[in-house]
Amino acid sequence: MQKGFAASRMCEIAKTANINQALLHYYFRKKDKLFEIIFEQETRKFHADFLAILNSNHTFFEKLKMMVAKDLENISSAPYLPMFVLNEMHSNPERLNQFLGSNHRHVELFKVFSDLVFKEQSEGRIRPVCPRQLFLSILGLTMFPFLGQPMIKHVLNISDKVFDQMILERVEYASDMLIRSLRVS
């Protein structure tokens, strides 16, 4: 995830994992297979976490806050993932489409999310909003700090420790921002 698909070498991966290169090739044959497994594992985790939250008995606003918190937690544990996916989308969109195309979890996730947004709107608990735009806002509020981390640290003149603290505070800030934008006036 640190170097992206094209710049990674199986020998470097084996060295980083502290395993024999032959063993890595035995289990994964090619870098494509390893990429597929990593991508599948990370997307499965993202979908499972979000579906569990969306299907919970919490209020809509509690669910939003939980989604923001879980996304920030997941990205914090794999901070290179957003840039990895972004780089792969630009350098080889066919490979990414291949993995996403065979995986219908993202379609199910967005349907559950959209249905919930429309239900909340129809019951007058949130103002009318496009589910796609709301979903994009959640992802933007959670992913951008990691995508822009080097620039953010430089511009704000902050250390890794301060950045990590900002991410912890971001759960409240981003959730509050979303909830305020959705409240019926």
pLDDT of the chain, 185 residues: tens digit per residue: 666 666 677 888 778 888 888 887 877 777 777 777 777 777 778 788 999 999 999 999 999 999 999 999 988 888 877 777 777 777 777 766 666 665 677 788 899 999 999 999 999 999 999 999 999 999 999 999 998 999 999 999 999 999 999 999 999 999 999 999 999 97
Query: Is there a contact between 165 and 159 (Cβ–Cβ < 8 Å)?
Result: no
Residue 122, CA distances (Å) to 48, 98, 142 in order: 26, 36, 27
Q: How is the chain split into domains, by residue range? A: 31-182
Report yes or no on whether pTM surpasses 0.85: no
Q: What is the CATH number of domain 31-182?
A: 1.10.357.10
| Cβ atoms < 10 Å from Cβ of 123 | 9
Q: Which of 117, 111, 116 is nearest to 182 (CA)?
A: 117
Residue 85: phi and psi, rounded to 5, are -65, -45
pLDDT at 99: 63
